[in-house]
Structure 1
Amino acid sequence: MADAPLLQMRGIDKSFAGVPALTGVDLSVPAGEVRALIGQNGAGKSTLIKVLTGVHRRDAGQVELDGRPVDFGSVHEAQRAGVATIYQEVNLVPYRSLAENVCIGRAPRRFGLLDWRAINAEARERLAALDVHVDVTRPLHEFPIATQQMTAIARALSFDARLVVMDEPTSSLAEHEVGVLLDVVRRLRDSGVAVVFVSHRLDELYAVCDTITVLRDGRCVADAPLAELSKYEVVSAMLGRALTESERRGRHVGAARAAGAPTVLEARDLHRPPALNGSSVSVRRGEVVGLAGLLGSGRSETARALFGADPVTGGEMRLAGEPVAFSSPRDAIRAGLGFNSEDRKADGIVPDLSVRENLTLALLPRLTRRGVVDRGRQQEIVDRFVARLGIRMASPDQPVRELSGGNQQKVLLARWLCTDPRLLILDEPTRGIDVGAKQEIAELVDELADDGLSVLLVSSELEELINGCDRVVVLRDGETVRELAGADISEDAIVQAMAEGSAGAGEHGDA
């Protein structure tokens, strides 16, 4: 392994609208080394990659490639210098053939015309190296997403790059395909190519990476040979928790409250590869159950599967003991489920509609007769839930986009509460809101559980899970690996399960 770095990034700063995304970040990668770049959502990984490849202009700092200062103005300029990037989202031309996508921008020509025989032959050769054997003349969109991802990888490698950046390259791949890709990474390293490998799957990192850089809140918090850090230490660095031998324990007043209560929803062994690979969870009446796990562990995917938003390929669900299979969110809503999605702006609020309209959106079928909304009943419901949740606004007719993040979140909670659900699924309900609003929502969830509502709480904040949940189910790589109850819920136990996994008989299911 070479000592001199092929890539050297020093003191990189980048802000958006005055908000720092990167602060003084360093990244060094010698030729023939695979460096892991990891961090929670929003840690700055993608921003750092985009600064390197010319998508974003850095505010401060230096970038050197092979000892020479570089300042790429575009991805194409970075490619010409030998930097190839493979993104999580496939960025190709769907209606062109696989061969065209592999060779686009550098297709072989003969007598000034495209040499289709050479184009197809090169595409077949490069895809075969990735163990993909398909008809390269067919349009890309006709193939599954895994084949499209492999095509994107083949294209990136076709530039004979000296530095390859892989941003979550295995997120859409099946187990066999992941193995093939990791072999490709090893071959690149052995041939002297430097690789920056971004992944949330710790097993993959330990399988192929030599060194690791951990980002948190836009800063570098760990930089070391990977062999010197345990998985537990890596996860602790990502979360920013200075864990001690004394375990932090939360208040689990609801454990006794839910003991012996009937099970409202039970899901066992849910599969939807590659996101879900054996996810199991159950929720009793009046119980708050947390879903914990790192980014990509399958938390949100499990929530969406339970709500019928994403179909599953295997497993079973029971509602009040009866088998169910929701084909759409409409089925779930009719069965008494509510769901607050992770991204309230994209999947929750309708920004240009009023508070009144947003709050009663899920209830409109019951408020409408012959296409006309009963404004009297609507106003009564709005008044009741505005008062109950303490929603602060100028008037119910105020556009919801003008409310603070915490009040927008309360409107979304009210939207589902007014449907009188039996189970409420909350995916990151306190993300992006201030401390005061977080506490109000936490207290509200506790009150709802006291009133008999079942709650499934997805959160990346350990303190929120520890203090607010009766049980915590830990997911890793799409699989339920541990279930903790009552006083056994602690930072130490959750982080250990996130890092190592501990699936086994009796460790998940209806406890």
Structure 2
Amino acid sequence: MSELALVCKDVKKTFGSIKALRSASFTLEKGQVVGLVGENGAGKSTLLKILAGVYQADSAESIKLLGKDYSPHNAIDALKRGIVTIHQDINLVEGMTVAENIFLNNEPTSRLGILTAGSLNAKAQELLDHYGIEVDASQQVSRLPNDLKKMVQIIKAMTWKPTILLMDEPTSSLTATEVDVVLKLITELSRRGVAIVFVSHYLSEVFRICDTITILRDGQTIANLQKESTSISEVVQHMLGRKLVEVDARSKRGAVASTEVLLSVRGLSVPGMLHDVSFDLHRGEILGFTGLTGSGLTELAKTLFGVEGYQPSKGTIAIRGNVKSHWNPGKAIKEGVALLTGDRLREGILPDFTIAENVGLPIIGKLRNALGLLSRSKIDAMGTRCVRELNVKAPSAHVPIRTLSGGNQQKVLIAKWLETRPKIFILDDPTVGIDVGSKDEIRKIIERIASEGVGVIIISTEMPDIEKLCDRAIVMFRGSIVGEFAGAQLEHNRILETSVSGRKAA
């Protein structure tokens, strides 16, 4: 048996009345990759933050690092003990060079305390070459693609000479091609003896690089499994406490409900973002848009909703046959268009507002009493109904939305836009970064609203969303439409080939 790097037994943590961790346990050997999985709210982030020194455990039978008791007072203490966290977001300084980012707050100096750009670049380049990363250390980070930025982030962590790397959703912002590059680097780090805790909702990636899998549910460790002795379906069943029955929504719903065109886009162009985009969306149809990062997907969503800074220089947007000019979000909402943003935290929620208050924002005019004042009873009743109808896991509609898991926050945002009674619903990456159970529930919500006659546009890089839900899928490449697929042609390999090549696959 290899040397144990970390042992956690019966770790507990509460926040007020919320039991974030009831009993979390797992072990990690040197050079091993442990996959830490579970639904949003299962306790994964809390456990990572305890190990990283951000939180202190309320109690634990044992937490040992390299055989010694481990209870860091803060994040700096954890760093000094050799535990380094790589966060989900790419948190590099865009205006600095690769070398400056790698050694930020950990600058190597001479005996006299002198730091020179030349020595910094040389040391950073040595590290990059050591791990086989073909990047110029003197290059500005803003010029790098996402996969190389993520690898620079990982190399930055390696400058602390970690015993253990805690990786929180390290691939969530990457395309399939970029993910492949990053996973190879993670595998190489484990071969060099680094112990890694890999948190991810992407179970295919967990099974690709992890040696063992620890499953959390409701703050408890449900199982610690060897990868070779389990399967994705078994892991999902442990995560949910039930079997997940997947339904192909396309086959269930059948053909497009109507030939009525709700949205018609012709020759839409936005300088530097979109070029000559044309398509129609029908009543009751689920239309998917997909492609690589940077292909113009989010830009298209914001243009269709009239977001400032995304006004088209050419082309037309017509709603039910009427061409719209001077388009903006206010007009879009009045015309029955809703947009679920792809950036939930920055553009979606007001974290300190309650669930009910977040839901009521776009229809605030309908929540007034006879005196024209906001009616608290109307807001509360609406919020309570939405929590119930969309199965939001929360004590009530009166808690701040920041206390919810990512999947439940997403359901609240969907509820918010459903309150506007949309005719056209644009969802930008609706299931990214959320757990498998919430994904399933959100896909069912999308299927339901389409069956009620809403025209739905799903913008997603997650192929299950496109394959299982969409009647048609349009592939974009560098701001242009390069392929459209429907029926039997709508499948993963053709879409992926078109996405990476910029030419429609046969």
Give a deviation string over 1:260-305, Cα, whole Å, max 9, x none.
45253599xxxxxxxxxxxxx99753x49699xxxxxxxx979956
Any conservation in 1 of the 2:257–2:285 contact (CA below 8 Å)? no
Q: Which structure 2 residues correspond to residues 174-185 of structure 1 after superposition, within 5 A?
A: 174-185=175-186
Q: Which residue of 2 aligns with 1:397?
A: 373
1:478 aligned partner, one-letter code: E
Identity of aligned residues (%): 27
Q: 1:431 aligns with which of 392, 415, 434?
A: 392
Distance 1:109 1:25, change over 3 A: same
Q: Which residue of 2 aligns with 1:370?
A: none
Partner-residue secondary structure (3-state), 1:109: coil
Q: Which residue of 1 aligns with 2:484?
A: none
Q: Which residue of 1 aligns with 2:382?
A: 407
Q: Which residue of 1 aligns with 2:58?
A: 59
Give a deviation string over 1:60-117, Cα, whole Å, max 9, x none.
1131111111111122222222212111123445554432321232413243312433
Post-superposition offset of 1:121: 0.7
1:483 aligns with 2:458: no
Any conservation in 1 of the 2:215–2:222 contact (CA below 8 Å)? yes
Q: Which residue of 1 aligns with 2:501?
A: none
Q: Give the CA RMSD over aligned residues.
A: 5.5
Post-superposition offset of 1:12: 1.1
Distance 1:203 1:261, change over 3 A: same
**Alignment partners' CA distance in 1, 2:248 and 2:211:** 36
**Alignment partners' CA distance in 2, 1:345 and 1:397:** 29
What is the TM-score with the length of structure 1 in the denominator? 0.63
**Alignment partners' CA distance in 1, 2:327 and 2:148:** 27
1:242 aligns with 2:243: yes
Partner-residue secondary structure (3-state), 1:397: coil
Partner-residue secondary structure (3-state), 1:482: helix
Any conservation in 2 of the 1:130–1:150 contact (CA below 8 Å)? no
Give a deviation string over 1:180-209, Cα, whole Å, max 9, x none.
322222222222221111222233222211
1:397 aligned partner, one-letter code: L
Give a deviation string over 1:395-424, Cα, whole Å, max 9, x none.
8624869954x63487xx9xxxxxxxxxxx
Give a deviation string over 1:314-367, Cα, whole Å, max 9, x none.
xx99965999999974674475402466969973569899x999968679xxxx
Any conservation in 1 of the 2:54–2:75 contact (CA below 8 Å)? yes
Q: Which structure 2 residues correspond to residues 275-286 of structure 1 after superposition, within 5 A?
A: 284-285=282-283
Q: Which residue of 1 aligns with 2:72?
A: 72
**Alignment partners' CA distance in 2, 1:146 and 1:401:** 49
Distance 1:164 1:397, change over 3 A: same
**Alignment partners' CA distance in 2, 1:217 and 1:143:** 39
**Alignment partners' CA distance in 1, 2:254 and 2:36:** 43
Q: Which residue of 2 aligns with 1:164?
A: 165
Query: Bigger CA drift: 331-340 or 3-12?
Result: 331-340
1:98 aligns with 2:98: yes
Partner-residue secondary structure (3-state), 1:48: helix
Distance 1:5 1:161, change over 3 A: same
Distance 1:18 1:339, change over 3 A: same
Distance 1:226 1:466, change over 3 A: same
1:122 aligned partner, one-letter code: K
What is the TM-score with the length of structure 2 in the denominator? 0.64
2:102 aligned partner, one-letter code: V
**Alignment partners' CA distance in 1, 2:237 and 2:163:** 32
Any conservation in 2 of the 1:35–1:213 contact (CA below 8 Å)? yes
Q: Which residue of 2 aligns with 1:191?
A: 192
**Alignment partners' CA distance in 2, 1:326 and 1:165:** 48
Q: Which residue of 1 aligns with 2:274?
A: none
Q: Which residue of 2 aligns with 1:278?
A: none
Give a deviation string over 1:413-436, Cα, whole Å, max 9, x none.
9xxxxxxxxxxxx9x965355799
Any conservation in 2 of the 1:84–1:165 contact (CA below 8 Å)? yes
Any conservation in 1 of the 2:301–2:426 contact (CA below 8 Å)? no
Post-superposition offset of 1:34: 0.8
Distance 1:85 1:361, change over 3 A: closer
Distance 1:362 1:303, change over 3 A: farther
Distance 1:330 1:442, change over 3 A: closer
**Alignment partners' CA distance in 1, 2:223 and 2:263:** 41
2:233 aligned partner, one-letter code: Y
Distance 1:262 1:150, change over 3 A: same
Q: Which residue of 1 aligns with 2:30?
A: 31
Query: Bigger CA drift: 83-92 or 322-331?
Result: 322-331
Post-superposition offset of 1:21: 1.1
**Alignment partners' CA distance in 2, 1:212 and 1:138:** 38
Post-superposition offset of 1:128: 3.6
2:205 aligned partner, one-letter code: E
Distance 1:232 1:323, change over 3 A: farther
**Alignment partners' CA distance in 2, 1:344 and 1:506:** 32
**Alignment partners' CA distance in 2, 1:333 and 1:445:** 9
Distance 1:324 1:127, change over 3 A: farther
How many matched pairs? 419
Post-superposition offset of 1:40: 2.5
Any conservation in 2 of the 1:473–1:484 contact (CA below 8 Å)? no
**Alignment partners' CA distance in 1, 2:358 and 2:194:** 56
Uncovered stretches (5+) of structure 2, i.e. residues with no partner: 266-278, 289-296, 311-315, 399-407, 432-437, 472-486, 496-506
Q: Which residue of 1 aligns with 2:489?
A: 505
Distance 1:446 1:76, change over 3 A: closer
Distance 1:142 1:187, change over 3 A: closer
Any conservation in 2 of the 1:409–1:429 contact (CA below 8 Å)? no
Any conservation in 1 of the 2:281–2:287 contact (CA below 8 Å)? no
Distance 1:137 1:257, change over 3 A: closer
Distance 1:357 1:90, change over 3 A: closer
**Alignment partners' CA distance in 2, 1:222 and 1:476:** 31
Distance 1:338 1:53, change over 3 A: same
Partner-residue secondary structure (3-state), 1:114: coil
Any conservation in 2 of the 1:163–1:193 contact (CA below 8 Å)? yes
**Alignment partners' CA distance in 1, 2:151 and 2:243:** 39
Q: Which residue of 2 aligns with 1:152?
A: 153
Partner-residue secondary structure (3-state), 2:489: coil
**Alignment partners' CA distance in 2, 1:221 and 1:307:** 43
Distance 1:359 1:162, change over 3 A: closer
1:13 aligns with 2:36: no
1:38 aligned partner, one-letter code: V
Distance 1:134 1:302, change over 3 A: closer
Post-superposition offset of 1:132: 4.5
1:41 aligns with 2:17: no
Query: Bigger CA drift: 463-472 or 221-230?
Result: 463-472
